[in-house]
Chains A and B, each alone.
Chain A
Amino acid sequence: MIFFLRYVIRRTLKNLTGNLFPNFITIGIIVISMLIFSAFTLIALNLTNFLTIWEDKIEIIAYLKQGMPPGQVEPLLRKTRLLEGVEVVRYVSPDDAMDFMATKLGRQKNLLEGIQPAFLPPSFEIQLKKNFRNSTRIKEVVARLKEIPQFEEIQYGQEWVETFSVLVHAFRLTQWILGGLLLIGIVFITSNTLQLTISSRREEIEVMHWVGARPSFIRVPVYLEGLLQGFLGGGLAILFLFLLHQGLFFYIPPSTQAWIAKIPVLFLPPETIAWILLGGTVLGFFGSFVASMRVLKYR
């Protein structure tokens, strides 16, 4: 067994180093394919992360009808707090709203001079429980709020959430469709280039057939070759993606960097990296398997 392993490793390394150009091409194509797939995964991951952060901060503002008697606010607060999915409800009076606007306007707060606080409607700021902070469940809370006649208008940045959600889903879909196409491509390319390298060794393989070499002695080095090509391709793709990810910050203007600093731009987590490496390795193996089925038949 040890002899067999040593033989297989020696043959594989000889095959890899003895056919540098076709191997270089195969690994290069796997790198490009895996880089495209990994980049899509990374973008989808960051969009999802951005959506999660955004959803975490999501809150509903329910504007009260003008002229509501102050005595009705407290019972309405209690009623709202009891709705499913609601975590915290804060009453924002017209004065609070005016102070908030003044703070936001900063040095331009004099723009508010002459405006009466009563001009701004009173509202409830409603924070949701964690499992309700998504575009689907938030609608359930909004629907219940709309049934309460004391509310004039309900706002929750609906379009933003939905558009962003659609974008994330579209990205995920593209990622998997692209992943599927690249998968077929990688198997096809690996098997074809391995056929080229096998062809360049056809005299050796013919001799092995004539002398009665076990099929495992002929095939396993080819499988290992494909496996290594896939692993190297996946690994290099991750490395290049990491360098691109790091390099991105060098080329972003400082003003934008400050804005981006608020949203962490994540790199792929270790388990995703492991899956990509495994994926590349398995694809490389399949490529070599297809190639060996085509050209390594014992004859």
Chain B
Amino acid sequence: MINETIIEMDDVSKVYSSGISALSDISLEVLAGEFIFIAGPSGAGKSTLLRILCCAEKPTSGEVVVCGMRITEPGFKKLYQLRKTMGIVSQDFKLLRDRTANENVAFALEATGHPRKEAKRIASDILSRVGLGEREKDPILALSAGEQQRVAIARALANSPPVILADEPTGNLDAKTTLDIMGTFTDLHRRGTTIVFATQFTGLVKRYSYRVIRILGGRISNGGMADLPKVQEVKTGE
């Protein structure tokens, strides 16, 4: 898996029907097992890029290949297969608030074809992995923001996807919780999961020595955020 390209974007642009250009000529490759930051200020196009990767939006032009699937080919219909290859974590968690932590993770498993009992067991294992083994039976609303985000990460991991797309997952969290959550992501990376992590927090990016793709005004940029590492700068390990 290592050194294989798992995500490939070639000359991708996105112009909305209103005429607003969200992305222009984005080309990038992500290797299997890599952790990359997509960094840029709010409105730079980070979320659009991630939404294109998970096929929630179609690019206006360009080619995108994810896990061997050419998602930009006309009539691409294997959306659910694509989504099974990736775990999606967002800033607002998107958890089912009337359920427990275990039920939230088990729901994702059941919806993808796991029998109920098995789903609950796997959910329990994953929650233990993200440090929530003790709180799996607690209702979501009884958990702190950081714990809720961990439940969201556990849910993203439910189907053991090779790729995690995280869109500002620490955007709503305080500094300490952000570091806790980052610890969970780096742990996942160590276990071989490819992580694409979008953030606007430069301090966070600087803290880790992962490759950074800077986006500004919908383009990959070499400048404009002087305090960030340079584009395509790849450092191995943490």
**A interface with B by C-beta (< 8 Å):** 3-4, 7, 203-204, 206-215, 217-218, 298-299
Contact = CB atoms under 8 A, between A and B. Distances in A.
Contacts of B37: none
B96 A211 contact: no
Interface of B: 54, 56, 79-85, 88, 94, 96-97, 107-108, 110-113, 115-116, 155, 158-159
A225 B79 CA distance: 25
B94 A211 contact: no
B108 A3 contact: no
B79 A298 contact: yes
A3 B109 CA distance: 13
A207 B83 contact: no
A218 B111 CA distance: 8
Contacts of B159: 211-212
6 contacts: A7-B116, A207-B111, A211-B108, A212-B80, A212-B159, A299-B56
A279 to B, nearest CB: 33
Contacts of B88: 210
A213 B94 contact: no
A212 B94 contact: no
A117 B149 CA distance: 107
B111 A3 contact: no
Contact of A3 (B79, B94, B113): B113
Contact of A212 (B82, B110, B115): B82
B77 to A, nearest CB: 9
B58 to A, nearest CB: 10
B80 A204 contact: no
Nearest to A215: B80
A3 B115 contact: yes
B158 to A, nearest CB: 6
Q: Which of A204, A212, A298, A299 lies at the interface centre, i.e. has the most chain B CB atoms within 10 A of its CB?
A: A212
Given A210-B94, A211-B112, A212-B159, 12 more contacts: A3-B113, A207-B111, A208-B111, A211-B111, A211-B155, A211-B159, A212-B83, A212-B84, A214-B112, A215-B80, A217-B111, A218-B111
A139 to B, nearest CB: 64
Contacts of A206: 94
Nearest to A4: B113
Nearest to A2: B115
Nearest to B77: A298
B94 A203 contact: yes
A161 B155 CA distance: 74
Contacts of B81: 212
B107 A212 contact: no
A1 to B, nearest CB: 11
Contact of A207 (B56, B96, B116): B96
B94 A207 contact: yes
Contacts of B110: 7
Nearest to B109: A211
Given A203-B94, A203-B96, A214-B113, A209 B107 contact: no
A279 B94 CA distance: 40
Contacts of A217: 111-113
